[in-house]
Amino acid sequence: MKNLFTTVFVVASLSFAFQATAQRRSPNLNFGFQVAQPLGEFATQYQGLPAGIGASFSIPIARSPMEWGVGYAWNSMGSSDRDITALIHQDSAAGNTYSDGKLAVRSTCSRYMLHARLRPVSGKIQPYADALSGIETFKTSTSIALDNSGYSSELSTNRDHLDMTFFYGWALGLRWRLAPKFYIEGRYENITGGKVQYVDDESISVNGNNTIAFDLKESKTNMAIYHLGVAIGF
């Protein structure tokens, strides 16, 4: 029985390898929506499931099952809009000029990555595995928009906090071909992120000069990412 199992496994492996090398492989682009689940100390410091988008572009290495590529992902870590009275002009003689407006606060996480991919088959159903690494940034910015008789105009935009760290991890994905060169795709990523500081969204307050004050949290940024999208071959 053991010899039979070994024989079947070897034959199946050779069959997959032959199919991988025999079929023409082409560059491919994937993009879609994703949700991040903080893990470890990141989960104790940050409450929420950052949602966003992700995309990557992969290039095959000759006719082998190996590929390399680049990727980008963006996740929202919190947002709020607050009504304010904005100072738009200072004049010591005639007096200061104010206008009603909104202060928008946005906290985001972005990842810029390189990956090596093993995609053993290029048929209708395509499993694959990635090793990936890159840089992730955590940013909080504010913008003030004035209400001018029914339409809004932006007065200012400020970056209030920015920090970055390295990360590495792995991913497993599965594609299902719906049409020639068009696939739906599900993907799971497990990321180990370095220690970084990011804004505590619950601590944000607005000062009298329409700037914000906040506290910072610090932790490693391990996370699991669930991605659903489409892939296109070229």
The per-residue pLDDT for range 57-111, each reduced to its tens digit, is 999 998 899 999 999 999 999 988 888 776 666 666 666 666 777 888 999 999 9
The answer as to whether 179 is a domain residue is: yes
Distance between CA 200 and CA 101 in Å, rounded? 24
Q: How confident is the model at residue 125 (pLDDT cuts 50, 70, 90)?
A: very high
The answer as to whether 209 is a domain residue is: yes
**Paired sense of beta strands 195-199 and 216-220, if any:** antiparallel
The answer as to whether 189 is a domain residue is: yes
Q: How many CA atoms lie within 13 A of 108 on its CB side?
A: 12
Provide the CATH number for the domain around residue 143: 2.40.160.20
The answer as to whether 213 is a domain residue is: yes
Distance between CA 72 and CA 229 in Å, rounded? 14
Supply the range of the domain harboring residue 95: 26-233
Judged against a pLDDT cut of 90, whether residue 2 lies above it is answered with no
pTM to 2 decimal places: 0.81
Phi-psi region of 17 (alpha: psi -120 to 50; beta: other; left: phi over 0): alpha
The 10s digit of each residue's pLDDT in 178-189 is 999 999 999 999
Which pLDDT value is given to residue 12? Answer: 45
Do residues 103 and 84 touch, judged by C-beta distance below 8 A?
yes
* DSSP code per residue over 168-219: EEEEEEEEEEEETTEEEEEEEEEEEE-EEEEE-GGG-EE-TTS-EE--EEEE
The answer as to whether 20 is a domain residue is: no
Exposure class string for 53-66: b at 16+ Cβ within 10 A, else e: ebebbbebeeeebe
Judged against a pLDDT cut of 60, whether residue 16 lies above it is answered with no
The answer as to whether 39 is a domain residue is: yes
Location of structure tokens 């947002």? 79
| Number of domains making up the chain | 1
Which pLDDT value is given to residue 102? Answer: 82
For residues 22 and 155, the model is more confident at 155
The answer as to whether 1 is a domain residue is: no
The answer as to whether 19 is a domain residue is: no
Distance between CA 73 and CA 35 in Å, rounded? 11
